[in-house]
Amino acid sequence: MAEEFEYRDLSDAVFWGVDLQRALFRDVDLSGSTITHARLHDVSVDARIDRLVVNGVDVTAFVNERDPWFALRSRLAPTDPHGARRGWEAFSGAWAGTIERARALDPDDQRRSVDGEWSIAETIRHLVFGIDKWFTVPVTGGSFHPLGIPNSGSVDVDWPGLDTGAEADLSTAVEAWRDRSRLLDERLGAITDDDLAKIVDVIEHEPGAVHDCIGVVFEEHFQHLRYARRDLDRMG
Clarify whether residues 172 and 210 are in a common domain: yes
Clarify whether residues 119 and 55 are in a common domain: no
* Whether the predicted pLDDT of 5 surpasses 90: no
Q: Is residue 41 one of the residues assigned to a domain?
A: no
**pTM (global) more than 0.95:** no
Q: Is residue 177 one of the residues assigned to a domain?
A: yes
Clarify whether residues 131 and 158 are in a common domain: yes
pLDDT of residue 229: 95
What percent of the chain has a predicted confidence (pLDDT) above 90?
83
Using an 8 Å Cβ cutoff, are 92 and 185 in contact? yes
pLDDT of residue 1: 63
Can you give the residue range of the structural domain that contains 53? Answer: 47-71
- Angle (CA) 122-126-128 rounded to 5° is 115
Clarify whether residues 55 and 152 are in a common domain: no
- Angle (CA) 160-164-167 rounded to 5° is 130
User: Nearest Cα to 127, choosing from 141, 110, 148?
Assistant: 148
Average per-residue pLDDT for the chain: 94
Count of CB atoms within 10 A of residue 178's CB? 16
Into how many domains does the chain fold?
2
Q: Is residue 34 one of the residues assigned to a domain?
A: no
Residue 26 vs residue 141, higher pLDDT: 141
